[in-house]
Structure 1
Amino acid sequence: MPIHIDSDQGIELAVIGGTGVYALGQLADVDSWWQETPYGMPSGPIRIGTLDGHRVAFLARHGEGHSVPPHRINYRANLVALQMAGARRVLALNTVGGITADCGPRALVCPDQLIDYTWGRIGTFSEEAGSEVVHVDFGDPYTASLRAAALAAAHRANVHMVDGGCYGATQGPRLETRAEIARMRRDGCDLVGMTGMPEAALARELGLDYACIGIVANWAAGAGPDVDAVIGMEEVLANVAAATEGVARVLRGMLVG
């Protein structure tokens, strides 16, 4: 049974975890909330607890068993569920590949731009007949104040985080070809991932503050010092685990800053 959430109490920060980030182990006094939204079921339960006395919500984007591929994620239900639970600020953790020199494995990057290469995903709440058609301003896809909070927290915690960059969102679940990554580099992308869109646009339609921390798991195809290198999933997950140690410190800093 879902627990009752008093949204008036508010959630200071909601975190959406990507590949390799299926829980926030730092949360205490955790309750679980999982119920259907007007757009269907979210990927899994929202875990709501406290971090250093602050209310934080966590949702695993792919499900806690990584059972939902990028193109099948119900992005609308995920964001609406977080909003229903009382979230107003959403920090997205996205496991990504690095394209440019500053974005190598284990780097943390707070992008300020994105390019959408996905297709066929429902990317608006104006989809259903009779819905109000909303044309949101999306020139700057991430909320400046939330980006600034993440970067300031990283600085205070002595965690290196790259300030800015362009996230290229691809369809997945397959990885990209060398030619596709070369094209993305020419387009100005620094990172490649599969879940950055339509999540960011939907958050904007809902009026949620939204920012992204890209956790670089590996070099994208043909990028990096060894363009022929191919790494396995074990190394990818090890890189994510190492980088998320810094993310935990940033989260704490965002709550007290």
Structure 2
Amino acid sequence: MNCNLNKYKHLVKRLICTAFMGLGVYGVVIGQNNAQANFLDTTTVDEKYREDQFYVSVTYNLLGRKPQGVSQNGFSGGFHVGFIRDMPINKARNLAFGLGLGISTNSYNQTLLISKETSTYQYSLLNNNDTPFNKNKFSAYAIELPFEFRWRTSNPTDYNFWRIYTGFKVSYRFYTASKFKGEAGNIELTNISDFNDFQYGLMTSIGYSNINIHFYYALNDIFKESATVNNEHIAMNAIKIGLIYYIL
């Protein structure tokens, strides 16, 4: 079973890497085609243009509402890639709705140890003085469904413009894992049932040209009510800050 899960995990990583590379190639090709089109015929204007329909994002992941004694260590990162259908709602096409589909992977390095006894998950606080460890993290792979309201200063011939995109995102976690490596041994768990399958939260992207600042704040907890430490529910939520790259 562990062998199959590891193969599944590696397959997901390969799919995400392939998607990143594919979008990068797509962006280069689109940029070359746009430049060539502008060079050959500067009089052609697409009055029905759409903007920013592919995205790639890298985020630094924070944990909000941490229980007392839980802290983050090391780098906790997220990678997101997907497609958003741009749907302009005014004649100038600088106001639009966006509805998308994407995939993401997120990891959190922290001091909350997840272990398992029979069919029950156990949670405890790590202290490097008492339990020396090299790594302790949990991670998740998810399908993302973003919905945005989009304002921008775009026009049919200008590909560099200001934008403010704000909205809501729902995610479905289809794979979760935790990993501990220390002097006491190694603990690896997968498909942890105490994780909430669905996550939802608010997001916004602000910036100029292709690369923009991205912020996400989850409105619900990472863990279900069954996850407790020191008789306290682990009510942590995800906060993500990073950069998002848009491609036509």
Q: If the length of structure 1 is used for normalisation, what is the TM-score? A: 0.19
> Which structure's residues are more often strand, by fraction?
2
Larger Rg: 1 or 2? 2
